[in-house]
């Protein structure tokens, strides 16, 4: 692993927390198309090239002890932490579609980047191993830096070529990724650069969560359950796919995204744009506007990647009632949001909630000091 202190060349978008200029496009008008049935939507999904990486379907688990402690809704947990690929998580579903494009490109090395405790990069690395490719990761320092724990430890175990750069802002990553790809190309490799903010990458990945919506819908029907709400830790691709899938099937279930991060661009605008690009890719008529999206940024805490008293207690509660291990960066904040919404009466005691466990659990081990800190019990 190399640790670099870098001076980042300032591209026109650097310093901004919004996606690079040119990718921002306000979503158009809402289209409530005639609902598709599951078979028809599955057919559209199957037309998108994919590679097999995930263990599916993931279990839908009833969690009555956690529900009782919340004092309210019937609670089911969709275990997408069990999708496979080096500890699983939501990214595995997304990578099935992204890697089809990577394999088709003839690349021999995948260049990707995010924070050092990135689940995305850990799962990308695992996928490269399954598909006989190499991984070159450029990781920004974030909260945990080059400490070889959690996801970063796994990246190294899997043999990724890791460079840690001493910056905190992920928005400054694209030029560094381009530099890495150019360096590999100059050495005779065939790099595929996964651009973190490119709409095509986001939409292709989001197809994985349209498929998850279909899978969940079938499980709910079999269990005889109507979900009033789905709570999900989501920055953009995951809630976009889930919401699009639910609306394309004509379901009225509220999809509530709890964001782990605050960006300049409202999450609602980003999620609607990605959902619409995904719909276009799938050739389905449903279109959403920002007002159709529900997303909260209230549970991030001071910044991305920081454990809050509420997220720590949410994590302890899930662990102590159901043996359910959440993660410190994403899912614990989503559960903190759900707990708060139950307390405020936004989620009724007689309602049913599906909590989407999107994974991220390897990061638990790099957050031991924060997780062991004492705070008032719930
Ligand atoms: C564990 C976990 N949950 C949720 C998310 C958010 O996913 P998305 O960016 O697809 O909305 C991520 C993203 O890295 C994640 O790692």
Q: Is the omega angle on the peptide bond into residue 166 within 30 degrees of 0, that is, cis?
A: no
Parallel, antiparallel or unpaired: strands 161-165 and 191-193? unpaired
Q: Read off the pLDDT of residues 234-269 as tens digits, 9 standing for 90 and up.
A: 999 999 999 999 999 999 999 999 999 998 899 999
Residue 12 pLDDT > 90: no
Distance (angstroms) between ligand 1 centre and the Cα of 286 equals 24
Does 21 score more than 70 pLDDT? no
Atom of ligand 1 nearest to the CA of 330: 3
| 128-161 pLDDT tens trace | 999 999 999 999 998 999 999 999 999 999 999 9
Contact indicator for 215, 55 with CB cutoff of 8 Å:
no
Between CA 233 and CA 254 the distance in angstroms is 14
Under a CB-based contact definition with an 8 Å cutoff, are residues 142 and 115 in contact?
Answer: yes
Model confidence at 11, in pLDDT bands (50, 70, 90)?
Answer: very low
Fold matches, 38-89+200-372 and 91-197 = yes
Spacing, Cα 331 to ligand 1 middle (Å): 9
Widest CA span in the chain: 61
The pair of structure tokens assigned to 57 is 């379907």
Q: Is the pLDDT of residue 16 over 50?
A: no
Say if CB 92 and CB 282 are below 8 A apart. Answer: no
Q: Is 238 a pocket residue for ligand 1 (Cβ < 6 Å)?
A: yes
| Position 20 confidence tier, pLDDT thresholds 50, 70, 90 | very low
Does residue 90 have its Cβ closer than 6 Å to ligand 1? yes
Would you place residue 168 in the very low, low, confident or very high pLDDT band (cuts 50, 70, 90)? confident
Extract the tokens encoding 215. Answer: 């899978």
118 catalytically annotated = yes
Confidence of residue 3 (pLDDT cuts 50, 70, 90): low
Assign domain 38-89+200-372 one CATH number from 3.40.50.1100, 3.40.718.10, 3.40.920.10, 3.90.850.10: 3.40.50.1100
Q: Cα 197 from chain centroid?
A: 13
Ordered DSSP codes for 308-362: -HHHHHHHHHHHHHH-----TTTHHHHHHHHHHHHHTTSS-TT-EEEEEE-B-GG
CB of 360 sitting under 6 A from ligand 1:
yes
How far apart are the CA of 260 and the centre of ligand 1, in A? 8
User: Tens digit of pLDDT for each residue in 59-84?
Assistant: 999 999 999 999 889 999 999 999 99
Q: Which residue's alpha carbon is at the smallest distance from atom 3 of ligand 1?
A: 358
* Selected catalytic residue, list 16, 105, 118, 320: 118
- Stated as kind and residue range, the H or E segment containing 135 is strand 134-140
CA–centroid distance, 259 to ligand 1, in Å, is: 9
Ligand 1 in contact with 236 (CB < 6 A)? yes
Residue range 289-296: average pLDDT? 97
Evaluate whether 109 touches 136 at the Cβ level (below 8 Å).
Answer: yes
In the predicted structure, residue 13 carries a pLDDT above the cut 50:
no
In the structure encoding, which two tokens stand for residue 169, read together? Answer: 């802002």
Ligand 1 closest atom vs CA 114:
14
362 lines ligand 1 (CB under 6 A): no
Question: Which atom in ligand 1 lies closest to the alpha carbon of residue 205?
Answer: 10
Six token digits for residue 225: 């359950």
Q: How many CA atoms lie within 13 A of 135 on its CB side?
A: 27
For residue 191, pLDDT over 60 is answered with yes
Confidence of residue 375 (pLDDT cuts 50, 70, 90): low
pLDDT score, position 4: 65
Q: If 0-12 CB within 10 Å is exposed, 13-18 middle and 19+ buried, where does residue 321 land?
A: middle
The full set of domain ranges for the chain reads 38-89+200-372, 91-197
Going across the sheet that includes 229-233, the strands are 60-62, 74-79, 352-357, 229-233, 254-258, 294-296
Mean pLDDT of 1-11: 47
For 156, residues 6+ apart whose C-beta sits below 8 A from its C-beta are 1, 148, 162
Q: Which residue has the higher pLDDT, 8 or 61?
A: 61
Helix (H, G, I), strand (E, B) or coil at 140: strand
pLDDT at 109 over 60: yes
pLDDT at 170: 86
Answer yes or no: is the C-beta of 235 below 6 A from any ligand 1 atom.
yes
- Token readout for 147 is 């400490």
In whole angstroms, what is the distance from residue 288 CA to residue 240 CA?
10
CATH architecture of 91-197: 3-Layer(aba) Sandwich (3.40)
Among 202, 140, 208, 124, residue whose Cα is nearest residue 175 = 140
Give the C-alpha separation, 342 to 232, whole Å. 15
* CA 74 to ligand 1 center in whole angstroms: 24
Share of the chain above pLDDT 70, in %: 91
Residue closest to 294 by CA, chosen among 275, 314, 313, 317: 275
pLDDT for res 196: 83
Tokens standing for 128?
Answer: 């490269």
- Please tell me what DSSP assigns to residue 166: S
Which of 194, 358, 362, 363 gets mutated to test ligand 1 (max ligand atoms within 8 A of its CB)? Answer: 358
Ligand 1 neighbourhood includes 358 CB (under 6 angstroms): yes
pLDDT given at position 333: 98
- pLDDT, position 106: 98
């Amino acid at each position: 692993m190399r640790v670099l202190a870098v001076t980042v060349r300032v591209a026109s978008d650097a310093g901004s927390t919004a996606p690079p200029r040119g990718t921002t496009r306000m979503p158009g008008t809402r289209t409530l198309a005639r609902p598709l049935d599951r078979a028809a939507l599955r057919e559209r999904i199957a037309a998108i090239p994919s590679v097999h990486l995930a263990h599916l379907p993931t279990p839908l688990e009833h969690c009555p002890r956690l529900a009782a402690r919340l004092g309210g809704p019937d609670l089911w947990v969709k275990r997408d932490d069990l999708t496979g690929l080096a500890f699983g998580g939501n990214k595995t579903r997304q990578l099935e579609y992204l890697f089809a494009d990577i394999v088709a490109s003839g690349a021999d090395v995948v260049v990707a980047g995010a924070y050092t405790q990135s689940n995305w990069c850990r799962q990308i690395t695992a996928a490269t191993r399954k598909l006989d490719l190499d991984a070159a990761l450029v990781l920004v320092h974030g909260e945990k830096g080059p400490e070889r724990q959690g996801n970063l430890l796994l990246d190294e175990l899997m043999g990724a070529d890791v460079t840690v750069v001493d910056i905190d802002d992920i928005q400054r990553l694209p030029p560094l990724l381009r530099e890495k790809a150019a360096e590999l190309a100059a050495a005779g490799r065939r790099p595929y650069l996964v651009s973190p903010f490119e709409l095509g990458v986001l939409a292709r990945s989001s197809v994985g969560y349209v498929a998850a919506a279909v899978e969940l819908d079938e499980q709910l029907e079999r269990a005889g359950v109507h979900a009033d709400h789905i709570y999900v830790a989501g920055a953009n691709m995951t809630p976009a796919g889930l919401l699009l899938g639910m609306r394309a099937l004509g379901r009225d279930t509220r999809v509530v995204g709890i964001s782990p991060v605050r960006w300049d661009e409202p999450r609602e605008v980003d999620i609607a744009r990605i959902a619409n690009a995904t719909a276009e890719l799938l050739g389905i008529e449903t279109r959403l506007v920002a007002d159709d999206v529900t997303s909260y940024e209230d549970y991030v805490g001071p910044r991305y990647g920081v454990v809050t008293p509420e997220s720590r207690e949410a994590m302890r509660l899930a662990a102590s009632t159901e043996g359910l291990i959440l993660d410190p960066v994403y899912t614990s904040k989503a559960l903190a949001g759900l707990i708060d919404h139950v307390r405020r009466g936004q989620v009724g005691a007689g309602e049913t909630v599906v909590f989407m466990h999107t994974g991220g659990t390897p990061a638990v081990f790099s957050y031991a000091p924060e997780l062991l800190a004492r705070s008032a019990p719930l």
